[in-house]
Chain A
Amino acid sequence: MLPAFITKELLALRRDPHALAVLFLMPTAFILVMSLALRDSFRLEAESTLRVMVIDEDQSPASRRLLQVAGTQATPPSAVDDARAALRRRDVDVLATIGSGFERALAARETPPLSLLAEPGTPIALLERERGRWERALGILRAEVALRSLAALAPALGEIDLAAQDGTHASVMLRSASPVPLTSVQQSVPAWLVFAMFFVALPVSTLLIGERQQGTLDRLRSLAVPPLVLVLGKLVPFYLVHLLQVAAMLAVGRWIVPLVGGDALSLEVNPAALLLVASATSFAALGLALLVASLARTAEQATIGAGGANIILGALGGIMVPKQVMPAAMQSITKLSPMGWGLDAFVDVFARQAGVADVALGSLTLVAFGAITLALGVGRLQRVA
């Protein structure tokens, strides 16, 4: 009897364009957009560079030395007004200004006037890298000033070119602890996959409400279909849909995202751990779906309830805004959302090559959540019937 229920659900779903769009098209679109949008936020060594214009208001040997050490040139004085306009027009991303009095402040060991003016929306990671470049150059200049002050003791000290000795490259290597660094696509695919998996609440609840309102559920109960078959008749087909979602979103991350300029998703994962996390997330999502279906009386209520609950859980769980860019307090809030649990477990699988043992606890939490919501949902459905 169960195969007939599975076939029926899959046939009905296949002919429901709205449900298919929510379950497959929506996460695909989010993965593509967010993988590109967040690409630089996840790069440890960003490839893209900022367009920087420099205004040297000091025009002193010290300011020219700073430009030399920083490896850049100042905009000619005649073009200073144009530089400010270029920032407003977004022709440049950052305007670096060496203020007048730079040399005097440096010699006096005061904070020299050096500022970066950034166009709003410039990736923070790139800005930080730019600031680091100037901080390093300034550090070298300060050290040179200190050495020159010691030249009375040893004249050779004043001749040392620290910039040449230090080289022009960053001296601190930044590497990921994992063989596969966390990129925006490694984050976006699990995030929007989890979001889409929880969105089964929408088709499941509208289907169940339709069955209740149209008397189909009564007809099945009058035929003495066992309650277990009725429940499994919803869980099994949508579990299969979840597995299909996992395969489809992995394919999008692996092959479609690179087509639009993003990184390719690394598929160097432990398949058993991936299946465990996918199954546990599926169970949690289906439990929540049945609970929403049991609480809603109409399809409209189900749509608003399921959609609203998903968006709130998604926002709390670090789906929409990656946990990495959240403040510490907000990061701890992600632990309240089952989507956050699912996301953490998926990221462990994708970015940390976690094995079954590593994701067992997270999976167990998801299964426990699914069992509780499922019990509440089924209990309420029985009372309503």
Chain B
Amino acid sequence: MSPAEARAALIVSDLHYRYRRDAAWAVEGVQLRLAPGEIVGLLGPNGAGKSTLLRLVSGLLRPERGVIDRSPAPAFALVGQENAFYLRLTCRENLAFFAAAARVPKAQREERIAQCLRTTALQELADRRTEQCSGGARRRLNLAIGLLSDPALLLLDEPTANVDPQARAFLLDAVRALRARGKAVVYASHYMEEVEAICDRIAIIDNGRLIAAGRLDEILGAERRLRVRVPADALPPAGWEAEGATLWSKELGAHDSLSAALAQLETHGIAVRNVQFGARNLEDVFLSLTRRSLRD
């Protein structure tokens, strides 16, 4: 094992999984590597394979092929989409139960529970039954339970689903704070704004495959599609695709010149009204790679 591998919080190689033998791959050939103190955003629409990948990494599903290298439980924690705790118990009772389940030593439990309540700002709600807590407080408790074992690796699956903007901002700050404490985080979401805001690296997943991965600037910079707005009655010349009645696009190679592409249109007498080159955001990247929206 190389020193770099020794430092990795998670290494996933050539991961394959399908729910039935005759079904399509739900996860296909996924590679992923995560260092301590790093947040990797797993971005993709609903059904892309994000949750399946996290369930594989957490050991809830067994891969058909591939390798997952991480520390055993409870050195990692899965914080799923659902509020996975007991509504008839108070926040503190839930934390006490899951602390025991996570094998937190008895002598440390009280302090650890208090720490998790502080981290997620739940001190005032600690003795309230969770069925009486707001949606935002429940999401915070869901995260707090994941932090009980002080895991080195956190797998967060849509942690801000169905919460108000204030609770979302709090949760994003909490995840940033985890990075500052050296935790490795896989942050699965279909909200590109969140992923852009907090992740060091981004992996875009669709139909079970990683279709792009890297730092935000790398992913946006790799996009070399030229889009132009043109009159409605014009026909696209060779090499151009019509994405709509007045929107054409052309993929430029690494050595293709932007001015040459625009000159081609001018040669055909087409009056270009608007020009866009590269991706403005991850939505553009996803659209370009899949011809679908992230929110589809």
A224 lies within 8 A of B74 (CB) = yes
In contact, B96 and A223 (Cβ under 8 angstroms): no
In Å, the complex CA distance between A214 and B55 comes to 15
Using known A-B contacts A15-B129, A218-B60, A218-B78, determine if residue A4 contacts B97 with beta carbons closer than 8 Å: yes
> Which chain B residues (102-127) contact chain A, with CB distance < 8 Å?
102-103
Question: Which A residues between 185 and 224 are near B, CB-CB below 8 angstroms?
Answer: 213-216, 218-224
Contact of A8 with B by CB under 8 A: yes
A214 CA to B85 CA in the complex, in Å? 7
A1 lies within 8 A of B58 (CB):
no
Per-residue interface assignment for chain B, residues 55 to 92, with 1 indicating a CB less than 8 Å from any chain A CB and 0 otherwise: 10011100000000000111001101111111011000
B101 at the interface (CB under 8 A from A): yes
Closest 7 CB pairs of A and B: A4-B100, A215-B84, A215-B82, A224-B73, A219-B84, A15-B88, A215-B80
18 extra A-B contacts, CB within 8 A, seeds A12-B89, A213-B82, A224-B73: A1-B100, A4-B100, A5-B97, A8-B93, A11-B93, A214-B83, A214-B85, A215-B84, A216-B86, A219-B80, A220-B101, A222-B59, A222-B60, A222-B73, A222-B78, A223-B98, A223-B102, A385-B60
- Residues of chain A from 81 to 121 with CB closer than 8 A to chain B in the complex: none
CB-CB < 8 A to A375: which residues of B? none
Cβ-defined contact, A214 with B59, below 8 A: no
Contacting pair A11 B88 (CB below 8 A):
yes
Q: Given the interface contacts A219-B80, A222-B60, A222-B78, does A12 sit within 8 Å of B96 by beta carbon?
A: no
A215 / chain B contacts, CB cutoff of 8 Å? 80-84
A16 interfacial contact with B, CB 8 Å: yes
Answer whether residue A68 sits at the interface, using C-beta atoms and an 8 A cutoff: no
B80 — which chain A residues lie within 8 A by C-beta?
Answer: 215, 218-219
CA distance A385 to B60 in the complex (A): 8
CB 8 Å contact bits of B118-153 with A (1 = contact, 0 = none): 000000000001000000000000000100010000
Closest to B86 in A: A12
- Check: A240 CB closer than 8 A to any chain B CB: no
Pick the contact of A214 from B82, B100, B149 — CB < 8 Å? B82
The distance from the CB of A225 to the nearest CB of chain B, in whole angstroms, is 5
Supply 14 A–B pairs (Cβ within 8 Å), ascending by A.
A1-B101, A4-B97, A5-B101, A12-B89, A15-B88, A213-B82, A214-B85, A219-B78, A219-B80, A219-B85, A221-B60, A223-B74, A224-B59, A224-B73
- The answer to whether residues A8 and B89 also contact, given A1-B100, A219-B98, A223-B73 and a CB cut-off of 8 A, is yes
Within 8 A of B (CB), among A1-27: 1, 3-5, 7-8, 11-12, 15-16
Q: Is the interface of A mostly helix, strand, loop or mixed?
A: helix
Q: Chain B's nearest CB lies how many Å from the CB of A382?
A: 12
A11–B92 Cα gap in the complex (Å)? 13
Q: Complex: how many Å from CA A63 to CA B84? A: 83
Q: Write the residues of chain A forming the contact surface with B, with a CB cutoff of 8 angstroms.
A: 1, 3-5, 7-8, 11-12, 15-16, 213-216, 218-225, 385
With the chains together, A12 CA to B84 CA distance in Å? 15
Q: Which residue of B lies closest to A2 (CB)?
A: B100
**A1/B82 in contact, CB under 8 A:** no
A305 to B55, CA, bound (A): 30
B101 touches A4 (CB 8 A): yes
Measured CB to CB, the nearest residue on chain B to A8 is B97
* Given contact pairs A219-B78, A222-B58, A222-B77, A4 touches B86 in the complex (Cβ within 8 A): no
Q: With A221-B60, A222-B60, A222-B73 in contact, do A214 and B84 touch (Cβ < 8 Å)? A: yes
Chain B minimum-CB-distance residue to A220: B101
Pair A8/B81 contact, Cβ less than 8 Å: no
A214 to chain B: closest residue by CB: B82
Chain A: minimal CB distance from B130 (Å):
11
What is the 8 Å Cβ interface bit string for chain B, positions 189-210, against chain A (1 contact, 0 not)? 0000000000000000000000
Collect the chain A residues with CB atoms within 8 Å of residue B84's CB: 214-216, 218-219
Known: A222-B73, A223-B74. A1 touches B93 (CB 8 A): no
The CA of A216 and the CA of B101, in the complex, are separated in Å by 11
- Taken together as a complex, chains A and B put the C-alpha atoms of A213 and B100 apart, in Å, by 22
Contacts A218-B78, A219-B98, A223-B74 given; does A1 touch B85 at CB 8 Å? no
Chain B residue contacts of A16, Cβ below 8 A: 88
Beta-carbon contact of A216 and B85 below 8 Å = yes
- Closest A residue by C-beta to B54: A222
Contacts of B86 on A, CB cut-off 8 Å?
Answer: 8, 12, 216
Q: How far is the CB of B108 from chain A (nearest CB, A)?
A: 15
Which chain B residues border A1 with CB–CB below 8 Å? 100-101, 103
Complex Cα distance, B77 from A145, in Å, reads: 98
Q: How far apart are B140's CB and chain A's nearest CB, in angstroms?
A: 16
Residues of A within 8 A of B93 (CB): 8, 11
Contact B72 A224 (CB under 8 A): yes
- Chain A residues, Cβ within 8 Å of B55: 218
A121 to chain B, nearest CB (A): 45
Smallest CB gap from B96: residue in A: A4
Distance in Å: Cβ of B214 to nearest Cβ of chain A: 28
Complex CA–CA separation, A4 to B145 (angstroms): 15
Cβ contacts under 8 Å, A218 to chain B = 55, 60, 78, 80, 84
Residue of A nearest to B93 (CB): A11
Nearest residue (CB) in B for A4 is B100
Report the nearest A residue to B145, measured CB to CB.
Answer: A219
